[in-house]
Chains A and B, each alone.
Chain A
Amino acid sequence: MAAGTGSGKTISATFAPLRLWLLLPSWLVIGIFLLIPVLLMLVYSFLTKEFRGGVIWEFSLAAYDQFLFDRGLFGDDPPQIEWAYINIFIRSILQALGATVLCLLIGFPTAYYIATRPIQTRAIWLFLITIPYWVNLLIRTVSMKFLIRDNGPMNDFLLGIGVIDAPLQLINTNIAVQLGLFYSYLPFMVLPIYASVERYNFALSEAASDLYASKWTILWRILLPVVKPGIVAGCILVFVPSLGAFLAPDLLGGAKTFMIGSLIEEQFKGNAGNWPFGAAASMILLSMVLVVLLFYARAQAREQT
């Protein structure tokens, strides 16, 4: 035992410099793709905007002030809460939640189905799920538009089988945006749930059945709690990008479905933009997401003990 520990130490001492080198790539990735962009956004959000896009290097709280307060047309009225942007945020959260629920309702049975197929055919099903994602997101979103437009195939089908008398007008509605987000992020829900259902020990379901639980009870009290990590991971992976999405709202929704992603996008596009304001909105979005994740992490930690 003692000898083992001793030799372990020698090995780690010998390889210490090597270990630093091996860690370097991950630090580079985290630094270049995570820390620097986020810090850049943080700094920009506290700078003064230049008239035609870009920034002036001068500290200012104007971006956050503009987001939260309404000071009238000339900026000298007593400050009032600015609801316009807050409303966009609330609407975005609701849209993202809706898309997450939709993905979960469709994604869970799909993942369960795939995970319970014979092992040789599972790869084929997963492959089928991911095929559409080889196509650019923009193209996919546009094709969704064609699919659900007034005289598109979906309406033709529903009219054909007699479910509806007049075409459903989905374009430019919240439902269209939901469908777009759903289509964009479904695999992010299916894959983590698939992974946890595949690892699920079906003897647990048998045991529960043996102990007088009905099928329904087994689903709610055994299967779902045990595969919950996969469900939560899927929900986070769908919710977070849905919250900041701008393609689906832009292409499928109208002015009434304006979301955070579009708001931020506008600030950086063309000459009319306001970089510090876009950066500030991004930081607010980021902190909201972080709060959600922190709550989740704490709940997880509590459950472990």
Chain B
Amino acid sequence: MTASVALKAVRKDFGTFTALSDVSFDIADNEFFTLLGPSGCGKTTLLRMIAGFEETTAGTIHLYGDEIENLPPDKRPVNTVFQNYALFPHMTVAENIGFSLKMLRWSAADIKARVAEMVEMVQLGAFVHRKPSQMSGGQQQRVALARAMAPRPKVLLLDEPLSALDLKLRQEMRAELKKLQRETGITFVFVTHDQEEALSMSDRIAVMSAGQLQQIGTPGEIYEHPANRFVADFIGETNLIAASVTAVDGLNVTCTLADGEVVQALANRALSVGAEGVVSLRPERLSISKTAPVDGLAGQSLQGVLGEAVYLGTDTQFQVQLAQSGTTDLSLKVRMQNSLSQAREFSQGDRVFVSIADGAARFLVD
């Protein structure tokens, strides 16, 4: 099957600054695809290049097999939901939604029908004759969505569309966007810096940093098997501890931390003994106990002193100070559910054992 969007060796320079270097990937048809990264990583530039607002310095962009990187925005069958909506302030909701159809010279009757359909889709029936300034942020965002989807784009581009909404509304809209995408079958390319947003909605995520693609995969793959240190750090929370490999068995490595403790981990690529890298331990995959875990395997448990505990509602986050070695100060964040842990049993200064859940440790080299 042809990819909905195919990027090949795409590069973008602004003067001497390289915003994107050599980005290549395919977005499948009907996919909810997310470009995720910190601000300045080039994700918005990439989206704007697909939309046609920025020219490519090098490389090609194909849309369902057709080369589009030289077409102006008004000749590309993709539509955009803008970050601050960019609704036309002098037009009503209905006029905003019908604008593209008018440009495409649909008949008045067809425009009316399609606008009615879109208004119903985003549940704004009562507002068709309002101007954008008379609506709340959430309603404006729905208008923007309806406006971009009205001309039945092959691909819908969304540039941080939820960032201007408050938390509660943002969470509602996530579910709604996902549902819309599934029902309409339109390919969504969604740009965000919010990893939670990306994990909760996407079929696949492309993690970007400093103009380069770091990893592409399903939310699960990216979270469980980060390709490198950046991805592990950026997606979710993690403990990154410098370590070196002391034994190798395929991708399973045994590594030694600075304090001499040993951890079994899964490496992100084939390594040999002596390789330097970091061990990534997700706080929620760790647990603490006062006694040594009975069935504890070698390399699955560490020892330390309990530091501060931070109550987070569903969880409590503990700081555990591992044995010190020289100047390196090793500490771990451990997160335990309040319903499971006996959080009150622990107090600062206790000597504790930290158990690593089976197969949770990752060894990452860049």
Contact = CB atoms under 8 A, between A and B. Distances in A.
B180 interface: no
A222 B88 contact: yes
Interface in A187-214: 201, 203-204, 206-214
Nearest to B51: A210
Contacts of B86: 201, 203-204, 206-207
A225 interface: yes
Contacts of A206: 53, 73, 80, 82, 86
Nearest to B100: A211
B74 A212 contact: yes
A83 B169 CA distance: 68
Interface in A109-142: none
Interface string B88-106: 1110000000011001100
A212 B80 contact: no
Contacts of A207: 80, 82, 86-88
A34 B136 CA distance: 42
B84 interface: yes
Nearest to A304: B131
Contacts of B51: 210
B88 A208 contact: yes
Contacts of B104: 212
B72 interface: yes
A209 B90 contact: no
Contacts of B82: 203, 206-207
A210 B79 CA distance: 6
Nearest to B48: A206
Given A207-B82, A211-B99, A226 B147 contact: no
A271 interface: no
- The contact size tier of chain A is 10 to 19
Nearest to B95: A221
A212 B72 contact: no
B151 interface: yes
A210 to B, nearest CB: 5
A209 B82 CA distance: 12
Contact of B72 (A203, A209, A228): A209
A305 to B, nearest CB: 10
Contacts of A87: none
A212 B90 contact: no
B90 A210 contact: no
A226 B74 contact: no
B74 A210 contact: yes
B151 A212 contact: yes
A152 B78 CA distance: 57
Interface in A221-259: 222, 225-226, 228
Contacts of A204: 86, 88-89
Interface in A1-28: none
Given A211-B100, A211-B147, A226-B89, A203 B84 contact: yes
A151 interface: no
Nearest to A305: B131
Contacts of A222: 88
Contacts of A213: 74, 99, 103
A217 interface: yes
B97 to A, nearest CB: 10
Nearest to B103: A212
A225 B90 CA distance: 7
A82 to B, nearest CB: 45
A1 to B, nearest CB: 20
A268 B62 CA distance: 76
Contacts of B103: 211-213, 217
A212 B99 CA distance: 9
9 contacts: A203-B84, A204-B89, A206-B73, A207-B80, A209-B74, A210-B148, A211-B147, A213-B99, A225-B90
The 9 nearest A-B residue pairs measured at CB:
A211-B100, A212-B103, A203-B86, A207-B86, A209-B73, A225-B90, A212-B74, A210-B80, A210-B73
Given A210-B74, A212-B104, 8 more contacts: A203-B84, A208-B88, A208-B99, A210-B73, A210-B79, A210-B80, A212-B100, A214-B74
